[in-house]
Structure 1
Amino acid sequence: MNLPASFIDYTRALLGNEEYEKLAVALQQEPPVSIRLNEKLGALSQNAGAAHSSFFIHHSSLNKVLWASDGYYLDERLTFTFDPLFHAGCYYVQEASSMFVEQVLRQYVNAPVMMLDLCAAPGGKSTHARSVLPEGSLLVANEVIRNRSQVLAENLTKWGHPDVVVTNNDPADFSALSSFFDVILTDVPCSGEGMFRKDPVAVEEWSPENVEICWQRQRRIIADIWPCLKPGGILIYSTCTYNTKEDEENVRWIQEEFGAELLPLDVREEWNITGNLLNGEGEFLKSFPVYHFLPHKTKGEGFFLAALRKPEVEEEENVVFSFSKVKAAKKKDKKGGAVTSSPVSKENRTLAGSWLNSENAERYALLAEEKEVKAFPQQYMDELAAMKQYLKVVQAGVLIGEVKGKDLSPAHALAMNASLLRQDAFDTEEVSYEQAIAYLRKEAIALSETAPRGYVLLTYRNIPLGFVKNIGNRANNLYPQEWRIRSGYLPEEIRTF
């Protein structure tokens, strides 16, 4: 790797000769591979028997990511594309350093919250946040680039938590939602220095001029989204870069511009996290608690994080979002007849409800939109209406089923949501590895002659993989077309869980 000369000069001056040389050596090494296990596996394992338990036993010797409860390092990179458990949402491939976001949520979020992940694609931090947020929280995951928002929605669907909304908006689009969120994560676009050894393009595109563009763009993003944070709410600011213009100096700007309080985190010495690079380490946890992950010290890529709290009382009168206009609009629609009747029949709505377990049937509203039936948490219906009024909502809650002809066909998202799906709602059929790959390629599936007719939930190693409609001589594959494995070959060596 040929590092830009100006990057070398700046970073050497920032870290000192000895530390920079260690960093330079680390940047020439292979990056570690790390994953997070999905918490939904725990619930599934209670009913899956020994086959599922072996998933955990086999990997009990893996090295733990010390700052993440479900994070692990792998000894080698798996062939993730050809691992059915990856597509089933059993784990997420995420860079280890970025898992440090968990520490902010665990140390400062102790009750249900509305959280926004502003720059969320492809979904690593969103799936992680959704796993550690208190039960009853709602996560809004946003991505400004349309095609990336679709990838974000796919990854969150596979992760399988119902209390999620995906939006496709610029930060400025949130301006109407004043004091709306309790927590906002801003993993802002940056110069990408921390990703040099994983992404050669980041090296090629780096320049001092790009750093200047980045820190100014980052401030615009923060200025746009700051009014949406409730007084007393928490802003998590993070980048994957080392330079202080995008890191410490921007954090200092947030403090001075908005009166934010910088929050210290309890970190352990063995995590080898570096503090404030502007003034050396010293008493950084007390004076300026910010957190750098440097590859020659921590097992991971370059990462920076700071947590800030919005003042409870601001100098100017705080503007709080009013739901009155949203409720008035909904009432007007009902009276004015503007809302057309749904093609989803009463019988199909009842059928969709019967697919949910009794515990969640009361917590979630069933929404019929066009030909689809969705489940969304009752307690956030007003917030959803507000977001639909001002934002481009890609998906909200869980798609339960879709009307095809006269029948209601179960949606793939329902298969991925173990917490919502009633265990005995569908017959199941365990498939082999070869059958699982064929299913994920959207190919025709041949089931055994004893397989039940109708909608069947396929499982692989007792983990739900998705639905088919078994009509006897063949099973219609219901896996989402746009998610299919496009590769037509299998590698000579396949390494999976």
Structure 2
Amino acid sequence: MELPADFVLRTRTLLGDAYEQFEKSLDAETPVSIRLNNRKGLAPPSSGETIPWCNAGYYLPNRLTFTFDPLFHAGGYYVQEASSMFLEQAIKTYISQPVKCLDLCAAPGGKSTHLLDLLPEGSLLVSNEVIRNRSLVLAENITKWGRSNVIVSNDDPQKIGQLTHYFDLIVADVPCSGEGMFRKDEYSRQEWSMANVELCASRQKRIIHDIWNALKPGGLLIYSTCTYNTAENEENIQYIAENLGAEIQPLPLPDEWKVCGALKGNIPVSRFLPHKTRGEGFFLAVLRKTEDDSGPVIFKTKSSKDRKKESIPSAIQNWLKNSSGFHFNIHNGIVQAYPIIFKEDFLYLTEKLKIISAGVKVGESKGKDLIPHPALALSDDLDQNSFHRSEISWEEAIRYLRKEAITIDSEAKKGYHLITYKNLPLGFVKHLGNRSNNLYPSEWRIRTGYNPEHLLLFE
């Protein structure tokens, strides 16, 4: 692998005698890893190897044909780089009570879906992405993960920073120069330059400055990058500590994981280097915002008199398990629901942020017709007993995921059927007797028309 000359010089200075081993590791095969959705019940992969720092994470011996695996589309697992799953250790060490959490730079959704599994019951996650098209991908991946205690937003950090002292926890996997992706991404090598490193380091400082006001005094910031240099890592952490009033928190780890410490300064941070750990480059630090004497912030929302009220069909409400635990509203005919304990939070954030999705979309009311929403099929809160079920084969599942016509038993009852593959819901069809209308979202469909000659699926 040909590396940029300035990168070689800079990294050799940091690693010393270990540099040759480091560079050799970049020519090794990229590890393949996935993380299971702990609510969807898939058994561990038969040929997988546990990732030590993530309970639901597994290395795979070969890359699966993910695009053609219906269990992937059903949200049964997420394809995620192993090192970045290390976020789990920071959450388990420091978060034991329900929190309001912001995942600031969240697309495509690896850390957000992980947080939804890790945060204590009663927590609320706001998952944000500033780039519009990436925020739509983020919303799709979170919808497929199936949780309702989450809002996806598309806002600049400066805008979110106006939510004074709202969040207990902010996860900031900040945009970086991407040195840790050199092994798997040739483009990142081509784009690297010393000037870009300095630009990224400056941008990262601005992002943290912009968001800092939204973090409660005593709250935690988890800062991470996928790059090796110290300008975007240790130097930025020192800057945050010295200029924003933050205390760097230790993260005790087993020696056998071979996670490294700081490459500059004597501060408690965690580094993944590919010649030591099985994964790509990754850096993580935990910081606690200094306490101050400010009182609690009052979050004001519009008076209930100012909110337009529409009646919610009771039949739609019954499509959710424990429907009494949800607040329902309707907008442009779409019924959405979110946990009632977060009612005021959802209303407040809807007024303040550009929301892409919130809670779970349950269904659509069109005249006398009630249509289940595709998001409902993938939700953990779906009451599956509300619908007929049709289990389909792999071949039928691929046709369904391409939004093509599929065949179910002509003797089956007419109406809306929940389509499942290996007992995991994929979506809905409307069965008319002689045919079925495929209700899978066009924007989610598999776009390629060919089937691969060799399939490797999760099992």
TM tier relative to shorter chain: over 0.9
Q: Secondary structure at the match of 1:479?
A: coil
Superposition RMSD in Å = 1.4
Match of 1:45 in 2: none
Give yes or no for the alignment of 1:254 onto 2:240: yes
What's the secondary structure of 1:176's corresponding residue?
Answer: coil
1:322 aligns with 2:298: yes
| Number of equivalent positions | 458
Provide runs of 4+ in structure 1 moved above 3 Å.
317-321
Contact 2:47 2:60 in 1 (8 A): no
The answer to whether the 8 A contact 1:177-1:321 is kept is no
Deviation digits for residues 179-211 of structure 1 (CA, Å, limit 9, x no counterpart): 000100000000000001111111011000001
Determine helix, strand or coil for the equivalent of 1:278.
coil
1:290 lines up with 2:269 in the alignment: yes
Cα deviation for residue 243 of structure 1 reads: 0.4
Q: For residue 488 of structure 1, what is the aligned residue in structure 2?
A: 449
CA distance in 1, matches of 2:426, 2:39: 14
Once the two structures are superposed, what CA deviation does each residue of 1:287-343 show, in whole Å capped at 9, x if it has no partner? 511011001100000000000111122xxx63754323x2xx334514xxxx3x54x
Aligned to 1:52: none
Deviation by residue 1:405-452 (Cα, 9 ceiling, x = unmatched): 42111111111112x111311110110111000000000111112322
Aligned to 1:284: none
1:388 maps onto 2:374 in alignment? no
Distance 1:106 1:416 in 2: 27
Aligned mates of 2:238, 2:101 — CA distance in 1? 23
Instruction: Determine which of 428, 435, 438 is the counterpart of 2:399.
Output: 438
- Match for residue 326 of structure 2 among 364, 378, 382: 364
Conservation of the 8 A alpha-carbon contact between 2:107 and 2:134:
yes
Following superposition, the deviation at residue 60 of structure 1 comes to: 4.4
Contact 1:179 1:319 in 2 (8 A): no
Q: Does the aligned pair in 1 maintain the 2:161–2:212 contact within 8 Å? A: no
Check the 8 A contact 1:26/1:295 in 2, yes or no: yes
Q: Identify the residue that residue 37 of structure 2 maps to in structure 1.
A: 38
Aligned residue runs from structure 1 range 6-405, under 5 A: 6-16=6-16, 18-42=17-41, 56=43, 59-279=45-265, 288-313=267-292, 318=294, 321-324=297-300, 326=301, 329-331=302-304, 333-334=306-307, 339=308, 342=310, 346=312, 349-358=313-322, 361-405=323-367
For 1:471, the aligned partner's letter is L
> CA 1:82 to 1:163, structure 2 compared with 1: closer, same or farther past 3 Å?
same
The Cα shift of 1:377 comes to 1.4
Where 1:40 maps in the other structure, the secondary structure is coil
Deviations 1:88-128 (A, max 9, x none): 00000000000011111111111111000000000000000
- Alpha-carbon distance between aligned partners in 2 of 1:332 and 1:402, rounded to the nearest angstrom: 25
* Rounded Cα–Cα distance in structure 2 between residues aligned with 1:77 and 1:405: 47
Q: Is the 8 A contact 2:47 2:61 kept in 1?
A: no
List gaps (5 residues or longer) in structure 1: 43-54, 280-286
Quick check: 93-102 or 60-69, which moved more? 60-69
Residues 178, 319 of structure 1: 8 Å contact kept: no
Note the residue ranges of structure 2 that are not aligned, 5 or more in a row. Answer: none
Which of the residues 447, 461, 481 maps onto 2:422?
A: 461
Which amino acid is the alignment partner of residue 84 of structure 1?
P
- SS for the counterpart of 1:275 is coil
Match of 2:378 among 413, 416, 420: 416
Q: Please, what TM-score do these two structures have when normalized by structure 1? A: 0.90
Paired residue type of 1:379: I
Distance in 2 of aligned mates of 1:294 and 1:85: 31
Residue 411 of structure 2, aligned match among 436, 450, 464: 450
Query: What TM-score results when the alignment is normalised by the length of structure 2?
Result: 0.97
Query: Which is worse superposed, 447-456 or 101-110?
Result: 447-456
Q: Higher mean Cα deviation, 117-126 or 257-266?
A: 257-266
Contact 1:238 1:304 in 2 (8 A): yes
CA separation of 1:149 and 1:156: change in aligned 2, threshold 3 A: same
Identity %: 55
